[in-house]
Structure 1
Amino acid sequence: MDVSNQKDAALIFTVTIVVISWFIWVLKKSKKGSVPLPPGPRGLPLLGNLPFLEPDLHHYLRKLYGIYGPIFKLQLGRKVVVVLSSPSMAKEVLKDHDTTFANHDVLAAATIATYGGSDIVWSPYGPDWRMLRRVCIQELLNNASLDAGRALRRKEVLQALADLYARIGSPVDVGEKITETIFNTMSSTLWGASLKGEEAATVASEFRHVMGEMTVVIGQPNISDLFPFLTRFDIQGVQRKTRRLMSWFDRIFVSILEQRMKKEGVTGEVKEPKDFLDILLKLKEKADPKTPLTMIHVKALLLDMVAGGVDTSSTTLEWAIAEMMHKPETLKKAQEELDAVVGKDHILEDYHTSNLPFLDAVVKETLRLHPPNVFLIPHTNSETRVVGGYTVPKGSGVYVNVWAIQRDPSVWDNPSDFDPERFLNANATGIKWDYRGNDFRYFPFGSGRRICPGIPLAERSVNYVLGSLLHTFNWQLPKGTKMDLADKFGGVIKKLNPIVAIPTPRLSNPEIYSHILKEVQ
């Protein structure tokens, strides 16, 4: 080898060593500077943590929070799920990076259950979602529309009181009666008197059964969501079950729409809206061609309102009564407030509820301990983001564990105690606890762009129904039974065992009950 070739070989060797050294340095530097994924339990190959999930998922994730801290991850098949369990973590996702996390983590069953994701809950963040939210906030749930439905709500509540009066001294399944009452109250507001008498009672009873099945089906882990390439095989039959349940809802909506169209005339325009359905049909006729409100949207919005409103409101009411019967001094105080504001010689009216701060505190405390959706509706991120010092990969499922946050001893004094006074005391010190999601210690309905739009309707209905049940009747457990507060996971956290209680009259004038009966006849 001549000198020139030796020099070339030496140069190539030197350059090679430099390049390799540079790549090694860059690689080490990039690893050193990279933001790690959140901590979490080890899983199995392919399946990840899926085999280790426990049926009561809210208790299981709270236990993991105690081990790994306020942000941790689970690997569920091919899906990364990040769980957030502190106010600061929730704020980063729902406020600081709200736009990035504005989409909900769409599930195969939820897509089927909402006419292909055509509703406000599962619709992707964009023009259609903004149109649907505008319809809900500005047209359906404004004060004028809610005030217009006051007489309809009053009629349904009086009917429930009349039904209970007919069962004085007999055991009543409180949860079942509450569900029927809330369903009738919501449905009257949504579509008026399209269903009447026995048909309405039958539909309300079936609704509780079907909605119970639906929340379980949507809430359970689905292989199709964890391994998307298996969706078409529907291995667990989740999609098939959801289609069967959805057919029941669709039959009801089609029947209601057909009745309304016949009443108004197929081509006739709704001129004087009397309920939400009238408003929606009128908006449909005047829809913007770029983002039209279609009949599918109408049915999807009705489903959102009735399914979301009835299930969460009735569950909240059942928990409120259970907690007060378990702690009788709170029940006594609520009834004393009702007597002072309404009187024992009158029935509660909708407008009284704004003057019942302790009753309002009872509802708020119930929602602290038993938020309707313990993880909210799972979010997902359109871009990779750093949250709490950890990388949350694009497309992750993000669970905001509001149930754990609202029971955290570092945030709340005696967090397991049912104590409505904490909200009265907070108001006295200038802290404003409300449902707007601005304080990440208490946000039972979510926060940010995807906060629940049905809060105004739910707030009016829940406070009015609860106050009416407590003011009109005393409630006692059958002899030999005790109130238990065990719960079960199924999307919405319900009581494990239903409340069976005996109503007795508590108003001073028996003629009031006769007046109620006359009004509903």
Structure 2
Amino acid sequence: MEDWLFYSLTTMLCLLSSLLLRARARSPSHSATLTPPLPPGPVPLPVLGPLLHLARRDFDLEPVLRRLAWAYGPVYSFAPLGLARPMIFVATRGPAHRALVQRGAAFASRPRATAPAAAVLTSGGRNISSAPYGPTWRVLRRTLASGVLNPVRLRAFAPARRWVLDVLLSRIRSGGGVVAVMEPFQYAMFCLLVYMCFGGDRLGDARVRDIEALQRDLLANFLNFQVFSFLPPLTKLVFRRRWTKLVSLRRRQEELFVPLIRARREAGAGGDCYVDSLVRLAIPEDGGRGLTDGEIVSLCSEFLSAGTDTIATALQWILANLVKNPAMRDRLREEVSTAVDGELREEDLQGMPYLKAVVLEGLRRHPPGHYVLPHAAAEETTLDGYRVPAGTPVNFAVGDIGLDEEIWMAPSEFRPERFLPGGEGEDVDLTGSKEIKMMPFGAGRRVCPAMALALLHLEYFVANLVREFEWREEAGEEVDLTEKLEFTVVMRRPLKARAVPLRQGMPIAATGSG
């Protein structure tokens, strides 16, 4: 009923907007010769069709974007939500490098968090991923990078990773042979990040499950909440049940997080967890004030969400390709077994080139996100001769850049060997500082600050998974590498594989959670 009413009310508005935009497009512009043109693209026509995906979770925009790139070139404009103001899309690595690296400061900002849902969940754009380029963003990012993500601190969390690995292996062994891997992967990564975020004693399985269920509910409704980006006064009224759910989820988030935050603050916040660094932080743009509890909630939510599904998704894609290619699986297991005698230590990972190649190929072929979060220019600028208005979202096609046939041989195939000596990916730089060949973590000034953590987690868990089990296809559960967009780009048919134990079970830690 809500959807029918919304579409009925917006149809006339959309048609009227279409007529106005057509008239404007035909009107001569005296300034057209004085300023660079906008990137080419279809005239925004906010008709009913483009709005349908606001209520559909299965809408696939990527084929549309690829056709537009073919038709208009590597830098083009498009209004995918039927909005009057188009976004800008960058489809290839050349202009991506020129924007993000060579002119990094110009494109380092974010579009303003004016959408009501984003404003609620990010405390008005005060988290690392949504804050505009400036002093607040710098201090938030520096706090994360020099705190919990500092290499010394990362090593200090090695016992927590070992404990989480034990929990994961125990769950796989108790799965009866055929394992649907995504749920235990997500739970393991979430436990680890909860420990890194809130520190202290392990919180207990029940509380971690409550936090995980809440965060998953937010992610599951992420696309549904995007409806509030279009005519917020109208959509908040028509979709009032969705709005009520958003507000209630945020309230529940504060109920769960704030007691943990206050406990760290009262304890003196002298530890190494993420919250400890946040409660000591001062915001330079606001007279040096400290963060509010609500702002810390938003930052903690960002930390948990950014590192859970992305890593779990990447693990699933890597394992799926190893199951589908037994020779690769066996080669990797042989490398791990040869390099390790006894417990696999994190420092052992440095001597495993094929492991690193498998992880890099997984990130190239199946980046968890096919587009990085939109960038924006704080002031009007240009890119490859086209005008980029201030605040306009600029989107970079991560998935397609990693499939560039000018760089990669048979780019659609999963070939870890391309990252070994002599391969086309041997000298790949994930930061893109010299050249962008792939950019699963973004590039330039807003490259993912947790890149080193992500690589460590992927290498550590992949190595242990292939060492402890032989992963095989199960009859009736053959691997299907078809993609599906959720919060991340996941397998349309989630991986179920038979896990045959190879070694005597490791000591299993208590199943309480982090």
TM range (shorter): 0.7 to 0.9
Q: Structure 1 residues 194 and 77 mapped into 2: Cα distance closer, same or farther (>3 Å)?
A: same
Which among 93, 105, 110 is matched to residue 87 of structure 1? 93
Residue 172 of structure 1 pairs with residue 179 of structure 2: yes
Distance 1:351 1:321, change over 3 A: same
- Partner residue in 2 for 1:351: 347
Structure-2 change in CA distance of 1:231 and 1:119 (3 Å): farther
1:184 aligns with 2:191: yes
Instruction: State whether residues 45 and 84 of structure 2, in contact with CA within 8 Å, keep that contact through their aligned partners in structure 1.
Output: no
Mapped to 1, the partners of 2:383 and 2:309 lie a distance apart of 32
Distance of 1:284 and 1:158 partners within structure 2: 38
Q: Contact 1:175–1:314 (CA<8 Å) still a contact in 2?
A: yes
Structure 2 runs not aligned, ≥5 long: 1-27
Q: Between 128-137 and 71-80, report the one with greater CA deviation.
A: 71-80
Matches within 5 A, 1:103-252: 103-105=109-111, 106=113, 107-167=115-175, 169-192=176-199, 194-199=201-206, 202-203=209-210, 206=213, 209-217=216-224, 220=226, 222=227, 224-227=228-231, 230=234, 233=237, 235=239, 239-252=243-256
Q: What does residue 13 of structure 2 align with?
A: none
Structure 1 position 375, deviation (Å): 1.4
Deviates more, 1:328-337 or 1:193-202: 193-202
* Residues 284 and 295, structure 1, Cα contact 8 Å, conserved in 2: no
Task: Report the residue type matching 2:328 in the other structure.
Answer: T
Contact 2:374 2:396 in 1 (8 A): yes
Q: Deviations over 1:353-394 (max 9, x none)?
A: 222221111111111122232210012222222212222233
Q: CA deviation at 1:321?
A: 0.8
Matches within 5 A, 1:267-282: 268-271=267-270, 273-282=271-280
Q: Is the 8 A contact 2:37 2:387 kept in 1?
A: yes
Cα separation, 2, equivalents of 1:182 and 1:277 = 18
Q: Are the structure 2 counterparts of residues 359 and 153 from structure 1 closer, same or farther at C-alpha, using a change threshold of 3 Å? A: same
Residues in 2 aligned to 1:285 and 1:148: alpha-carbon distance in whole angstroms = 28
1:516 to 483, 503, 507: 507
Q: 1:163 to 1:71 in 2, by over 3 A?
A: same
**1-side partners of 2:284 and 2:264: how far apart?**
18
The match for 1:20 is none
What is the distance in 1 between the residues matched to 2:190 and 2:36?
49
Distance 1:461 1:232, change over 3 A: same
Cα distance in 2 for residues equivalent to 1:288 and 1:294: 12
Larger Rg, first or second structure (1 or 2): 1
Q: CA 1:214 to 1:148, structure 2 compared with 1: closer, same or farther past 3 Å?
A: farther
- Give the 5 Å matches for 1:313-462: 313-343=311-341, 346-425=342-421, 431-435=427-431, 438-462=434-458
Query: 2:102 maps to which residue?
Result: 96
Describe the shift of the 1:437–1:488 C-alpha distance in structure 2 as closer, same or farther (beyond 3 A). Answer: farther
Secondary structure of the residue that 1:497 maps to in structure 2? Answer: coil
Whether the 8 Å CA contact 1:446–1:452 is kept in 2: the answer is yes
C-alpha separation between the residues in 1 aligned to 2:70 and 2:480?
26
Change (3 A) 1:286 1:444: closer
Give, in whole Å, the separation in 2 of the partners of 1:400 and 1:368. 15
CA distance in 2, matches of 1:518, 1:28: 70
Q: Is the 8 A contact 1:39 1:68 kept in 2?
A: yes
CA displacement, residues 260-317 of structure 1 (integer Å, 9 cap, x when unaligned): 45xxxx3x5234x143333433457999952534433432222121110111111111
Contact 1:149-1:275 within 8 A present in 2 as well = no
More off after superposition, 169-178 vs 292-301: 292-301
Distance 2:419 2:244 in 1: 45
1:201 Cα deviation after fit:
5.9
- How do 1:49-64 residues align onto structure 2 when only pairs under 5 Å count? 55-64=59-68
- 150-159 vs 291-300, which moves further: 291-300
CA distance in 1, matches of 2:348, 2:432: 22
Count of residues in correspondence between the two structures:
478
2:358 alignment partner, SS class: helix
> Is the Cα contact below 8 Å between 2:190 and 2:212 reproduced in 1?
no
Secondary structure in 1 matching 2:147: helix
Shift of 1:429: 8.5
Change (3 A) 1:149 1:191: same
Counterpart-to-counterpart distance in 2, 1:81 and 1:33:
22
Give how far 1:403 is off: 1.0
> Which string of whole-angstrom CA distances, capped at 9 and with x for unpartnered residues, describes residues 98-157 of structure 1?
333222223432222222222111112222111111111122211111111111111111
Q: Equivalent residue for 2:70?
A: 66
Residue 475 of structure 1 corresponds to which residue in structure 2?
471
> How far apart are 1:254 and its partner, in Å?
2.2
Measure the CA separation in 1 of the matches of 2:252 and 2:475.
39
The answer to whether the Cα contact below 8 Å between 1:43 and 1:49 also exists between their aligned partners in 2 is no
Give, in whole Å, the separation in 2 of the partners of 1:178 and 1:402: 24
Return 5+ residue gaps in structure 1 as ranges.
1-26
Q: Match for residue 8 of structure 1?
A: none
Helix, strand or coil at the partner of 1:40? coil
Aligned to 2:86, what secondary structure does the other structure show?
Answer: strand
Structure 1 position 482, deviation (Å): 0.9
Report how far residue 232 of structure 1 moved: 5.7
Residue 375 of structure 2 aligns with an amino acid whose one-letter code is H
Aligned partners of 2:215 and 2:305 also within 8 Å: no
The alpha-carbon distance between structure 1 residues 294 and 438, as it changes in their structure 2 partners (threshold 3 A), is: farther
TM-score (norm 1): 0.82
* Aligned equivalent of 1:304, options 302, 305, 330: 302
Q: 1-side partners of 2:51 and 2:380: how far apart?
A: 23
Q: 1:78–1:226: 8 Å Cα contact kept in structure 2?
A: no
Equivalent in the alignment of 1:24: none
**Aligned amino acid, residue 332 of structure 2:** A
**SS of residue in 1 equivalent to 2:260:** helix
